[in-house]
Every structure is written in structure tokens, then in C-alpha cells.
Structure 1
């Protein structure tokens, strides 16, 4: 695991001139704007001039904001008798600057890459890594913070925001030999007509080039202490746990059925707007289906399950998406989250799994990869931690490999 450096400005670059605001002011604006404005707050800051693409002269091979003509690039970097030295350029040509999530690479991955570049291309390179814990943190780094990277790994939903700001370069698929070996469902992520441009989020605004390719995928669900809460209870109750200050076990487990379990201040949600709002929409959408005397369904569109049953059916509802904009639905999502808030210890994307292992929490919103790591199936001391995608539904996500448009190396 890569540890966050003490100095978060680990990557030394000349910073572009930017207007700055304090964290307190930013939070004040967001709170005043309300939940819906929180989703679009970054766009509002862009309009106000706080978030913008630094006005630095583009290189010759950048023919439009965020668009590389790779033919021009290759003509400026000719390969001479397999000598790759002149392929490197930029202010720090031998340094690859990466922004990534924590726990991302196997232990020797970076050193193996450095060794590979030396053996294969006779290039001595270094890798500098900054670790972020949320997509919002990465977005702040490359906008307000003016940080410059070569490679970044934003999650698919925020790629759409980043690309429209001109912060991503199009990719040259001819250089990505395994692209055609990726599962097609990962390449063509389903999208809906309510998307403003109706494009895959990882394509450029014209739909002509990919700006990101899948690297890592998973789901967002409920992690819980299996020695306290039976898995059958989590499957039956799902998201409603977060609205409870305590509950009585329904099924026997390590504890007998009928045991009262305290939940207040022993639950957490992720520090991630998309995931928190998704839980809110799914919980509110499930309740809305029930209120309309429909059998609730987690499916947002026609679907045939593994038993050959097609959804929806007469008397069966359709679930809300994570992208609802109707004011009534947004209000219902907001109200559900405010019901949850008194029971939560905090919103934290790094403490969800450690708090379970330490016994400081009994149930948290979590990412599937974190809980899989926590279970440690390859060790002799498996942890009392388990994971369920709630019956109300959730989302699956992809972290994507992208090239920052400030890259010059």
C-alpha cells in the first residue's frame, strides 16, 4: 500500500495562477445551495471562474482542448534505431506522475515497472504517486489546486465532468494492444436517454475518442460485522438499517434471534456524493413503489433474471436511477438521508473497513474491493466481516485510466 506523503504537494510543478476560496467558504456555499446544487456545485464554481483550465500554451500536437493528433506527436518524436531516449520530453521527462486510489497496486508493481522500462527500453524512470480518497479530492487537485499529472484513475461517473472541462486527453487505442480483449460490457457502459449528450461517459464530448479505459471495477454495498448482524437480516432489511438507531435481530446467528443491537453512532457512509445519493435514491424509490401498492423491484429497466423471469411485470414497480433530477424524487432522496444522519458516526471512505475490523462499527456503506481485502481469505485469521448489495439496488462502478491534459512527460 502506498502511504499518503506528508506533503500533499509531492509533485513539484509551477502552479498556474488561480483564484482561491477557503474550505469554510466552499462548504458554506454548498450547504446554502442545498442537496441538488451540491451535485452541480463544481459546475457553478467553474462558471464563477474558480475552476477553469489553466491558460498555458498548448503543445503543437494538441489541436483542440483535450484533443491530441497522435500523427503530429509521432512526427515530432521519431524512433531512431530503437533508441527511445528522444521519446521523452516535458519539464521532468523521466518522471511518471500518477494520481490514484489507495491500495491500488500489488506491492512490487512500481519497482517492476521501473525495471521493465530499463531492461526493455534502456530508460531510467521514476514514478511519483499521489493518493486520493475521493473523486472530489482528485477534482479539486487538478482544478483549484492546479496539480499536474500524467496518469489519473477517476471513477467513470466523474470522467464526464472532467472531460467537459478539457482536463483529459483522448487516447490512442493503437498504443493499447489489449483494448480489444476487454469485456464489451466494460467498454460500452449502458447509458440512458436522460444523459445530456447520450454518450458513454468515457468518450470525448464529440463521441469520437475514448478518454478513459476500464482499470478496476466493483460495487457499492453494505459491509457488516457478521458476528453481530446475521447476513440474512442484512439481505432482508437492506438500506433501512441506516434509518434505525437500534434493531432486533430477525434470524439466529452468532447472537440469538431477538437480540437488540445498537446501531446509532456505529454506522458510517462513504465520503462520496455519488454513492451516498445513490443509496438515497434507491431507498426512496423502493418506498415509492411500495406506496403505490407495487411489489418493489431493484431494476431500472426491463431485465430477464437468471430464472428467466422478465422484470417489470404487472403489479411490479421500476426502481429509480442514480441520476434522478425530478424535484420530488430529489426531495425524497434528501429526506431519507436526513433520517439517516443522526445514526451515522461520520462520512468516511477510508475508515469503513478498519472500523468494522476494530469493532468500532457494526454496519457501513462500503466498496466491494475494500471489504474483500478486509476478509483476508488467504490468511489464518479471517475477520468477522461480510458484504451484501442491498435488495433495493445500488451501483457498479469503474475506475478508469486517463491521461491528464496537463501531462507533458
Structure 2
């Protein structure tokens, strides 16, 4: 989930910009960034331009699928792209990315070492340099339910006090991943027996309390008071509740047992014409004082560059340590069909 996913015009804008990026003259001092919409603060881009005497032009996308399809269709001119972990692994395997220049990545030592263990597809960050780690969690509306009267784990969705006022995401990897976590299984499992048990948990214990599966509108329904309990990304809920009401309204947490997470990484395309400048940009983002500006812009938790926390000026939506036990949703190839079939049964079985 990205802030970008709310922007309905992103796809049109991306294709409109394709002609500009592929036809404009190349002065060697322009970096072409293909990123999620509103995912890099303008202040950071302008500061980079001043320091490196260059220009940064940004084109945007609203999903990994859109980005990948456009590149596979032959789009040229981009230098940096920011895929999530599953697409990063696919693009590495397909030879779509070039190795980062280790001599330029002097801030790699500042990256949270836990990420190396999580990113099994590129543990040494040779192709994909971490940009942001995020995870879905649980939001409880404190104006409707008294604090301390509910358990802070995934089985909160079986709590009858939330019946008729709860929702989980319309996202099979997230919901099934939560159930697998509760059962002690790998969130990327393809074992039929384990997946069957996860389905049983969701259908019998969680679904009876749910109003619906909702991937986008739950933030508005939470803010209006219709939903008291939501599974989803913090930024969706916080984005709908006025900032002055956050403290009194939202109790957001990621259960201690963990759950599915995503890792967006900065990658240099094989066809990039400005690899040197691209390497400089990636390393620049990892300066703690620069990364802090990114975090402050969105109230994001400080996980990727822990040292940046000392430079932040705004309180994050939740503490980064809550993601310590989360696991990345990895590409499971053709086994995704298993999840699709199970999800259809979950969604449409009474």
C-alpha cells in the first residue's frame, strides 16, 4: 500500500510522460526517477539538485504491476525505479537491473541489518537498495472501544465486541498471511495443509465479525465511526483522521507475532543512461539527515536508516520496532494460483 494508490490519474500520467522521457534531449545532468506518486518529498529532490548541479524528473505509477508492464512494453529513459520486494526479485532474475556501484554506496553501513536478513533475494543490496519498509497492522477506534478491553494480536478479529464494525483488507496475501502467522507458519508457504488451516481460521473465527473485505475505503469508515476495528496500513487511517484527533482516536499496532510486510527498494535499470548520478541519488537518500525529511513528510517510522531518528521532528504513526518480527511477502510464482483459489472461497463462502 502506498499513498500513490489513492491517485486515480497516476496511470494516465505515467503514459503521458513516457513520450517526454524518451524523446527529450540528454544533457547528462538530468536524473529520471520512476517512483510511486508522492513518495519522495519535493524538498529532498530540490536539495539533491542543488548539491549535484542537476535536474530530477519524476514519473509515477500506482502499482508494481503498472510499472513492470510499462517497462516490459519497452519504455525507455528511466534511471531509477522503486519496486517492492516481489517485483525486485523478479526484475533481478530477468536481468532488468544493473548492479549498484559499491564505491558510491558509502551509506550502506547505516542500513538496518535486519533488512539484510529479510531481503533474501538480494541480501547484500547489490541490485536493490532499501527505501522504505512498511507493514499492515490493526487500528482500533478508541472513541468506540475502551483501551485495555481487547487483546493486541491478530485474533482480535474474533472478538465479538467488534462484530458488525470490523473490516480486513481485500488482499489475499495480507489476510491469509496474518492467519498463517497466528498458526506459526511461513507467510510465503505453499503447503496445501497449512493454507487449508489458514482458510479455516479466517472463515470460522474472523469473517463472522467482518462487515466486508475492504482495501481502500476503510480509512473513511474508521474516521466516521462506522468501523471500530480495521486491518490495514496505518497511513490510510491516519490520512482520514484530522491530525489533532490522532491521539484520542487511533490505537494502531502491529501484533508482536509479526505479519506480512513490504520493502520498496531503489534500483537502477539496466538501460539507465545516468548510472553514476543514480548511484549518487541512492546514497544521498540514505544520509540520515536526508532520510529524516522523508520520514517527517509522511510520519513514517524509522526502520531503514535507524540513525535518521535523531534528525526527525515529527512523531511517527507507530514505532519501527513493531516491524521487527514481520516477514516480507516474496514472489511465489505459479503457486499464487493456490492463494487465488483459497481467497475466492474465503470471499464468497457464507
Q: TM-score, normalised by structure 1?
A: 0.53
Distance 1:232 1:179, change over 3 A: same
Confirm or deny: 8 A CA contact 1:270 1:352 kept in the other structure: no
Distance 1:404 1:115, change over 3 A: same
Map Cα deviations across residues 84-139 of structure 1 (whole Å, 9 max, x no partner). x9982xxxx73513222x5523353333333444xxx3x3x24123132x444444
Partner residue of 1:333?
198
Unaligned 5+ segments in structure 1 are 16-84, 192-199, 249-260, 286-318
In the TM superposition, what is the alpha-carbon distance from 1:376 to its structure 2 partner? Answer: 6.7
In the TM superposition, what is the alpha-carbon distance from 1:214 to its structure 2 partner? Answer: 1.5
Structure number with greater CO (CA < 8 Å, separation at least 6) is 2
Q: Does 1:111 align with 2:46?
A: yes
Secondary structure of the residue aligned to 1:163 is helix
Partner residue of 2:58?
128
Q: 1:151 aligns with which of 56, 80, 94?
A: 80
Higher helix content, 1 or 2: 2
Q: 2:32 aligns with which of 96, 99, 102?
A: 96
Distance 1:8 1:397, change over 3 A: closer
In the TM superposition, what is the alpha-carbon distance from 1:226 to its structure 2 partner? Answer: 1.7
* 1:369-380 paired onto structure 2 within 5 Å: 370=236, 379=244
Count of aligned positions: 262
Q: Does 1:275 align with 2:174?
A: yes
Confirm or deny: 8 A CA contact 2:223 2:241 kept in the other structure: no
In the TM superposition, what is the alpha-carbon distance from 1:211 to its structure 2 partner? Answer: 0.9
Confirm or deny: 8 A CA contact 1:278 1:322 kept in the other structure: yes
Q: TM-score, normalised by structure 2?
A: 0.61
Distance 1:184 1:334, change over 3 A: same
Q: Does 1:171 align with 2:103?
A: no
Secondary structure of the residue aligned to 1:189 is helix
Secondary structure of the residue aligned to 1:320 is coil
Distance 1:113 1:234, change over 3 A: farther
Q: 2:18 aligns with which of 12, 33, 47?
A: 12
In the TM superposition, what is the alpha-carbon distance from 1:159 to its structure 2 partner? Answer: 2.2
Question: How far apart in 1 are the matches of 2:173 and 2:270?
Answer: 24
Question: How far apart in 1 are the matches of 2:114 and 2:201?
Answer: 32
RMSD: 3.7
Question: How far apart in 2 are the matches of 1:184 and 1:381?
Answer: 31
Confirm or deny: 8 A CA contact 2:13 2:60 kept in the other structure: no
Distance 1:94 1:322, change over 3 A: same
Question: How far apart in 1 are the matches of 2:69 and 2:86?
Answer: 16
Partner residue of 1:160?
89
In the TM superposition, what is the alpha-carbon distance from 1:225 to its structure 2 partner? Answer: 1.3
Which structure would you say has the larger Rg? 1
Partner residue of 2:145?
229
In the TM superposition, what is the alpha-carbon distance from 1:279 to its structure 2 partner? Answer: 1.1
Q: Does 1:401 align with 2:331?
A: no
Confirm or deny: 8 A CA contact 1:98 1:150 kept in the other structure: yes
Unaligned 5+ segments in structure 2 are 275-350
